[in-house]
């Protein structure tokens, strides 16, 4: 419009001198027309933003519910690369070793190729300690043999002396055969005492010999144990370089809670896997679903799988397994459940640990109200839409399932209602409508919590009473019951 006005001025300026005698009435008319056009331009521009807002209608139809999650490609079957078998020997008393070096993840290896090295220094220290213990035990074993010989020699001397004493008492009794009865009786008593003494010493020698044999055997067993431990540690030391059991791609082992075994990690009998070599012909996507959506996920449901590295690819899949027990997310109170998704087909470009986008088809709802997901707005506690094309209001809505484009409307809207896809200019000034729906939502949440608490309480009542363990605890429990 400004251009038209300028053009009119330019025409006026280029008019020949003969026409400059134009009447003032025509000049005023042209100026008024230009001002009117400019005014109309700014008037219509003022309402342009709101009138051009994109709106959609609430529609009724068949709705496919989807559960979205991010996952990671893994092999359904893989060959584990484990710690040396000798490290699992409890007699070595080494419960964990650090990985001092490990090849990069994704490295292609052949059977027998180097993969990782475990801490040699820690094993060397144990070998030195075992050698010191072995020298000490060998010395104790030799000393025990010498002590046993001395002790048994002394016991044999005691037996010889007891035998001589008995022979002496027998001679004395024979010499007193013609003495008085009292002297003869005393001589017989002395002979009996000497005989019993000899028998006692002979029995004591048998027991003493067995005792000394046991002492020597214990010392020898201790020595053999330390010797075997020293030998085992040496064997372990020679096997601290880990080799690949087969050809394939090296994949770092990942624990369910997210920790990855890599250089610096510690492995042992209770976490024995260092890395894996996956079979690329059997791939799965391992993902975690939050506790709110896990009830919608069932084994056998179809899944559409996207790979972030290849946005153009979409692979078919199926839910293979759903965990029965949830696990806490790090630094959060939220619980998640592990879900494994089988991927159909083969693709040479796919690699382990690639990130996937999974859309699980959780159900089909027929003849239901739905609206575009972009039309839903929310603040701290409310979810609402801007309802109405001319004079919109903030209509509170009760939502159901959601997929990539639409969300189910339980309450708050009806078919063919018009809602906005972006906020109006005066959105902050608009009033809320449908607060009664918000009250119903809160009431439903409270009822669901009460129901869940009641179910947990009933399950705890029905739980079987543990059977008391036989032994010391059983009489105590019985006594408490009697009280």
If you compute the radius of gyration of the chain from its CA atoms, what whole number of angstroms results? 47
Is residue 113 one of the residues assigned to a domain? no
Residue 10 lies in a domain: yes
Residues 229 and 334 in one domain: no
Q: How far apart are CA 254 and CA 285, in angstroms?
A: 14
User: Could you tell me the two tokens for 43?
Assistant: 């008037």
Q: What is the number of other CB atoms lying within 10 angstroms of the CB of residue 448?
A: 10
Question: Domain check: are 301 and 230 in the same one?
Answer: no
**pLDDT score of 38:** 67
Is residue 244 in a domain? Answer: no
Give me the pLDDT at residue 482, please.
Answer: 39
**Whether residues 169 and 293 fall in one domain:** no
pLDDT at residue 429, rounded to an integer: 83
Reported as a single tens digit per residue, the pLDDT across 425-442 is: 888 888 888 889 888 888
Phi/psi for 289 (5° steps) reads -105, 135
The whole-angstrom separation of Cα 112 and Cα 106 is: 17
Say yes or no: 185 and 328 in one domain.
no
Going by pLDDT thresholds of 50, 70 and 90, the confidence category of residue 469 is very low
Q: Taking residues 260-267, what's their average pLDDT? A: 90
> What one-character DSSP code corresponds to residue 311?
E
- Does 172 share its domain with 303? no
Measured in residues, the chain has a length of 483
- Which residues, 6+ apart, have CB-to-CB distance to 209 below 8 Å? 152, 155
pLDDT digits (tens, 9 = 90+) for 171-210: 988 888 888 888 888 888 988 998 999 999 999 899 989 9
**Structural domain includes residue 251:** no
How do beta strands 355-372 and 327-328 pair?
unpaired
* Unique residue bearing structure tokens 């429990």: 477
Q: Is 226 inside a domain boundary?
A: yes
When comparing pLDDT for 471 and 288, which is higher? 288
Give the DSSP letter of residue 295.
G
- Do the beta carbons of residue 148 and residue 137 sit within 8 Å? no
Are 216 and 340 in the same domain?
A: no
Q: What's the mean pLDDT when you consider all of the chain?
A: 82
- CATH number, domain containing residue 386: 2.40.30.170
Residue 190 falls inside a structural domain: yes
- Asked whether residue 477 carries a pLDDT value surpassing 70, the answer given is no
**pLDDT tens, position by position, 225-251:** 999 999 999 999 999 999 999 888 888
| Tally of structural domains, the chain | 3
Same domain? 303 vs 366: yes
Decide which of 177, 205, 237 is a domain's last residue. 237
Residue 93 lies in a domain: no
Tell whether 65 and 185 lie within a shared domain.
Answer: no
Domain assignment of residue 175, yes or no: yes
Domain carrying residue 386: 55-74+285-462
Domain identity same for 160 and 297: no
Whether residues 21 and 130 share a domain: the answer is: no
- Residue after which a domain boundary falls, among 237, 270, 299: 237
Residues 125, 191: one domain?
yes
Question: Is the distance from CB of 189 to CB of 172 less than 8 angstroms?
Answer: no
pLDDT for residue 99? 93
First to last CA, the chain: 101
- DSSP symbol at 271: B
Residues 32 and 132 in one domain: no
CA angle, residues 350, 353, 355, in degrees to nearest 5: 80
Question: Which of 105-119, 150-164, 174-188, 307-321 has the least mean pLDDT?
Answer: 174-188
Instruction: Mean pLDDT check: name the lowest of 147-151, 255-259, 354-358.
Output: 255-259
């Amino acid at each position: 419009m400004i251009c038209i006005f300028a053009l009119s001025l330019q025409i006026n300026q280029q008019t020949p001198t003969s026409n400059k005698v134009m009447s003032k009435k025509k000049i005023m008319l042209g100026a008024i027309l230009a001002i009117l056009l400019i005014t109309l331009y700014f008037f219509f521009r003022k309402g342009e933003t709101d009138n051009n807002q994109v709106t959609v209608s609430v529609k009724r139809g068949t709705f496919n519910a989807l559960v979205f999650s991010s996952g990671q490609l893994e092999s359904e079957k893989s060959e584990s690369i484990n710690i040396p078998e000798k490290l699992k020997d409890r007699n070595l008393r080494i419960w964990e070793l650090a990985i001092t070096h490990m090849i990069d993840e994704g490295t292609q290896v052949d059977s027998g190729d180097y993969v990782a090295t475990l801490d040699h220094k820690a094993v060397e220290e144990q070998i030195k300690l075992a050698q010191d213990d072995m020298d000490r035990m060998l010395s104790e074993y030799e000393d025990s043999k010498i002590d046993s010989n001395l002790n048994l020699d002394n016991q044999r001397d005691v037996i010889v002396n007891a035998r001589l004493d008995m022979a002496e008492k027998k001679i004395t009794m024979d010499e007193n055969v013609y003495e008085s009865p009292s002297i003869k009786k005393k001589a017989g008593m002395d002979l009996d005492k000497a005989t019993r003494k000899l028998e006692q010493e002979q029995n004591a020698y048998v027991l003493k010999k067995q005792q000394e044999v046991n002492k020597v055997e214990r010392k020898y067993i201790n020595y053999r144990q330390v010797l075997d431990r020293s030998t085992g540690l040496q064997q372990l030391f020679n096997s601290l370089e880990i080799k690949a059991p087969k050809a394939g791609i090296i994949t770092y082992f990942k624990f369910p809670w997210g920790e990855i075994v890599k250089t610096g990690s510690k492995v042992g009998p209770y976490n024995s896997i260092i890395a894996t070599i996956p079979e690329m012909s059997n791939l799965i996507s391992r993902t975690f679903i939050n506790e709110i959506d896990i009830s919608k996920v069932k084994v056998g449901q179809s899944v559409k799988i996207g790979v972030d590295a290849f946005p153009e690819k979409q692979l078919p899949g199926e839910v293979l397994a759903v965990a029965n027990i949830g696990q806490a997310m790090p630094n959060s109170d939220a619980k998640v459940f592990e879900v494994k998704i089988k991927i159909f087909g083969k693709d040479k470009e796919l690699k382990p640990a690639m990130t996937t986008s999974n859309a699980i088809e959780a159900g089909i709802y027929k003849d239901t109200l739905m609206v575009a997901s972009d039309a839903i707005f929310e603040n701290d506690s409310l979810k609402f839409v801007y309802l109405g094309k001319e004079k919109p209001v903030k209509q509170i809505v009760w939502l159901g399932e959601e997929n990539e484009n639409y969300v189910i409307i339980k309450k708050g809207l009806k078919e063919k209602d018009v809602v906005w896809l972006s906020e109006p200019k005066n959105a902050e000034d608009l009033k809320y409508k449908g607060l009664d729906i918000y009250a119903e939502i809160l009431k439903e949440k409270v009822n669901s919590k009460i129901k869940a608490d009641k179910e947990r309480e009933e399950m705890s009542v029905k739980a079987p009473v543990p059977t008391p363990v036989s032994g010391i605890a059983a009489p105590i429990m019985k006594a408490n019951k009697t009280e």
